[in-house]
Amino acid sequence: MTQTESDIALLLADAADEVEIGIAPVQSVLRGGRRRRARRWAAAAAVVVLGGSAGATLAFAGLPGEHHRAQVAAPPASAEARHVYEPQRTDLARGTYQGKEWSVGVQVWGAPRNETEAARQFDRMAELGLKPADARTPADLIGKVSYFATRGWGEDRPQQVMFNTVKQFEQYSGTDMESIATRLGIGGESSGRLVIGMVAKTAREVTCHWKDGTTTVAVPTVGFSSHDSGSAIRVVDGFRGANWFVCTAPAGTSYASAEVTK
């Protein structure tokens, strides 16, 4: 081995000693308290920084005479790209009640990374009439995702009916379900005729039972058409861990129960 080759070998050995073995992200906790075991990634090769600057290209040492170049990591996504100030919006269902259109939608707001982002997000939510869960000050939003299921009718501002602010999304599985019964519009006759909820992404059918003994079935649906019944299971943009569903009851009855049936 020449002097030059020896020097390079020593540099690679020193660099290898400094390589930290990272921990792969732990899979989200499932309902029932089950957790997947974290795995460790092993460093496959020593890393040497070429050029001595923070933005330098990284070269990975492989077999003798080989150098594999890796691209420098992209800069962090902007607040706009992360939907911190304007949420991702998904329409779940729509229909007509007493001559006015009703609608259900879900908004998913990205997690602010600092107080500046959190303050601007807090103000923007207030402009839309939204109040995040357990967030008394903007700082309470840092590092957390907020979501809101809203119900609208006619020209009235949509109202939040199901919402939360979390560090990570809960992973739904099997027949897991969370739902709420609300009204289609204004008036006692509309009470309990609209059911909104979350189910596992594997769910293929939700059956809603009404007090008059009838049922309504919601199935996975994409897009809208003139034949929509107002009941559907849909994927919500930016929402991990679950899909959302809506069921609507016929006139003269209201919510009794709901379950995942497929």
Quote the CA–CA distance of 90 and 239 in Å, as a whole number: 10
Quote the CA–CA distance of 144 and 28 in Å, as a whole number: 15
Check: CB of residue 260 under 8 Å from CB of residue 200.
Answer: yes
DSSP state string for 121-189: HHHHHHHTT---TT-SSGGGGTT-EEEEEEEEETTSPPEEEEEEEESS--B--TT-EEEEEE-SSSSGG
Over the range 197-207, which residues count as b (16 or more CB within 10 Å of their CB) and which as e? bbbbbebeebb
User: pLDDT tens across 203-252, in order?
Assistant: 999 999 999 999 999 999 988 776 677 899 999 999 999 999 999 999 99
What residues form DSSP beta bridges with 245?
Answer: 197, 233
Where are the chain's structural domains? 3-70, 88-260
Q: How confident is the model at residue 24 (pLDDT cuts 50, 70, 90)?
A: very low
Residue type, 129: G
User: pLDDT tens across 29-80, in order?
Assistant: 223 333 222 222 222 223 333 333 334 333 334 445 555 555 666 678 999 9
Span 177-188, mean pLDDT?
90
- Do you know the residue count of the chain? 262
